[in-house]
Amino acid sequence: MPLGGLVDFDVEEKRLVKEMEKTEAEHAGVAKKLSNPEFTEKAPAEVVEKDRARLEALTEKKAKLATGLERIRSIRA
């Protein structure tokens, strides 16, 4: 189904890029926190597990956003 008239690819690409940047920044922050031995040793186990789950969710979100960007860029190419 042609999407040319239904989707503004420039706007969608900009939205995905912005969301990717936000997700990457959040991912980096959580990863940095989890790589700190003081945090992982001193924080309650449930807090550490919550951050590990958040990191996994952000990793999955980054992959989905990257796939979306690839699709839009391949359609526009």
The answer as to whether 19 is a domain residue is yes
What range defines the domain where residue 46 resides? 9-76
For 62-77, write each residue's pLDDT tens digit: 999 999 999 999 987 7
Q: What is the pTM of this model?
A: 0.86
| Calpha distance 64→45 (Å, rounded) | 29
- Domain tally, the chain: 1
Q: CA nearest 59: which of 6, 10, 23?
A: 23
The answer as to whether 45 is a domain residue is yes
The answer as to whether 22 is a domain residue is yes
| Calpha distance 45→13 (Å, rounded) | 39
The answer as to whether 57 is a domain residue is yes
Query: Which ranges constitute the DSSP H helices of 4-44?
Result: 9-35, 37-42
Helical pair 9-35 and 45-76, crossing angle rounded to 10 deg: 150
For 11-25, write each residue's pLDDT tens digit: 999 999 999 999 999
The answer as to whether 3 is a domain residue is no
The answer as to whether 38 is a domain residue is yes
Helix (H, G, I), strand (E, B) or coil at 39: helix
Q: What is the CATH number of the domain that holds 26?
A: 1.10.287
